[in-house]
Amino acid sequence: MNLYLVPNDPLKTVLFSADGATRYRITTRRKYIFGPPLSRIYRPVGTSSVPSKDDKLVAEIEWKRWSHPVVRSDAFDGTMHEIELREFLYKLGKKFSTTRYFLGSDDKEYCWKDTKGTGHILSSRVAKREVARFNYDVALDGTLAGQKKWFIQVQPSELSLDMIILTFVIMEKRRREREAHPERRGFGDENPFESGFDGGVGA
């Protein structure tokens, strides 16, 4: 399955499948003027891109400015949890590595790795099997056929699609910030002061 980002902004986008159906909607707003940005990932009950009160809230990511960002979601095991990003997407090995690991909804360990020239690739840690990757290519079929778009290419797996999208949003947001501010690459994703958003205020 290919999920196309329109527009190509992981914090404010709609993810479409090739048939034009809306699969996810991602918004980012500040609850109040000086508050931290809050990203919300929704899974629509239908296929329309028009927001509905019945849409499923998959997760919230609060990009706290003075402490560590947190995730609130029931994608982990069906129960709502709040967890710091540094505990959810954790680092193993090299101090300044951008690779991050997480325990999936199927109780298996997965890894997002930043690959030069192709973006992020998600794979299972033990089986070493690719689960998803961020790509840029011409859509071959569907409503976007012939157009070059950024998309998440997802392979069949036991990992829930909600978990794939949640972790992708976090990883891609951080990757773009590293590219925009190369002077901060040694600062570390696990440190506080991770806001990186200059957007509107709203509910």
Residue 138 belongs to some domain of the structure: yes
Which residues, in sequence order, are CB contacts of 13 under 8 Å at separation 6+? 5, 6, 7, 25, 26
Residue 186 belongs to some domain of the structure: no
Query: What's the pTM?
Result: 0.87
Looking at residue 29, what is its pLDDT?
92
Looking at residue 200, what is its pLDDT?
53
Residue 123 belongs to some domain of the structure: yes
Residue 151 belongs to some domain of the structure: yes
Residue pair 53/161 in contact (Cβ under 8 Å)? The answer is no
Q: Say what the alpha-carbon torsion angle 143, 144, 145, 148 is, to the nearest 10 degrees.
A: 180
Looking at residue 138, what is its pLDDT?
83
Residue 195 belongs to some domain of the structure: no
Residue 49 belongs to some domain of the structure: yes
Which structural domain, as residue segments, surrounds residue 31?
Answer: 2-181
Residue 194 belongs to some domain of the structure: no
Give how many domains the chain has, as a whole number: 1
Residue 191 belongs to some domain of the structure: no
Residues in the chain, pLDDT under 50: 192-193, 196-198, 203
